[in-house]
Amino acid sequence: MAVRPTRTSLILPPGTYVEEWLEDNEGMTQTELALRLDVSVKHLNQLIRGHVRISREMATKLELVTGYTVEFWLTLQARYEARQSEIEVTEEDSDTVTSLFPKQCISRLRETGLIRCSWRTPEKLVEELYRLLQVASPRALVAVVERQVSAANLHGAVSDVPLGERWTWLAIVRNRANKVVDVPRFDRRRLRHLVPELQGITKNNPETVIESVTALLKTAGVIFLAELETSGSGLSTASFDRCGNPVIVVTASRKQDGAFWLAVFHQIAQVLGDDENEAPRKYRLVGERREIGA
């Protein structure tokens, strides 16, 4: 049997592999192959050039003549068609992503591992961001970013922070939250009873405060993240839902002063629904994904 075709680029039409098979079988011409496949030379030539697709009938004929299975030829055709139908990045796509996510946002997302591409390959970057946010157009991109940011209850100098930077900060802390394991089901009553104990921790050594708060809140099914302040982000706190568990994020750079504790208790109050300007939130059972406020 001839050597199996070795070219693997999905950009090449599957007919290219027929041509390579011919090269590996010296003495077999296109005319001879067309005769054996019971097609015209013109049809075979169009198939090789990618102008004619490999149908199941043709794949069956190719299996009989070349020895390679129907599935092999149909898979090549399917991959080629999938490649051809990938997102065509337009100027509007690039302009929207550029205005929404400045270079520093892309750098932070890459450092976190949420994306891999950069502006060196703009088409791939746009496609990767679309896949990350599960959108298919510039309008949908902006709408989803706005909705996710709005639902996350961000605090700080929010009005001074561009939308894309807010979403980037949120995406990074969400990524951290998703890595927290062994979190029990959210217990609202337990969280309410923890408040006096948390107030006692305010006098603890600042170096152990984060660890203490994290462990205590986790017993109530609350994920606590102390984020280092991102230069220029202007964001200090946030709260959102992760599969039924509240997530509270507080900037850790000022854990030694009252601002840190004010932020912690403010977010706890909002989770409990005690804030006079905040309606109680209904956290769903673990396993059901839903954005708070969505």
Q: For the domain with range 14-84, which CATH number is right: 3.10.110.10, 3.40.640.10, 1.10.260.40, 1.10.760.10?
A: 1.10.260.40
Mean pLDDT computed over 74-87: 81
Question: SS3 breakdown of the chain: % helix, strand, coil, rounded to 5?
Answer: 55, 5, 40
Highest mean pLDDT pick, 32-41, 156-165, 285-294: 32-41
The token pair at 269 is 């109050």
Pairing status of strand 223-227 against strand 245-251? parallel
Collapse the DSSP code of 14 into the 3-class scheme (helix H, G, I; strand E, B; otherwise coil) and give the result. coil
**What is the separation of C-alpha 92 from the centre of its chain, rounded to a whole number of angstroms?**
21
* pLDDT 10s digits, 136-181: 899 999 999 999 988 887 765 556 678 898 899 889 989 999 999 9
Mean pLDDT computed over 71-87: 83
Q: In what order do the strands lie in the sheet with 223-227?
A: 155-156, 235-242, 245-251, 223-227
pTM: predicted TM-score of the whole model, two decimal places = 0.61
* pLDDT 10s digits, 197-234: 988 887 777 678 889 999 999 999 999 998 765 544 55
CB 129 within 8 A of CB 97: yes
C-alpha to C-alpha distances, 18 to 38, 63, 105, 154, 193, nearest whole angstrom: 15, 11, 46, 58, 72
C-alpha to C-alpha distances, 276 to 188, 193, 272, 280, nearest whole angstrom: 18, 19, 11, 10
CA distance 161 to 178: 24
Domain boundaries, the chain: 14-84, 87-151, 188-283
- Residue % of the chain over a pLDDT of 70: 80
Backbone dihedral angles phi then psi of residue 130, each to the nearest 5 degrees: -60, -45
CB 207 within 8 A of CB 248: no
Work out the mean pLDDT of the chain and round it to a whole number: 82
Partners of 227 in beta bridges: 251
Our CA angle for 185, 189, 193, nearest 5°, is: 120
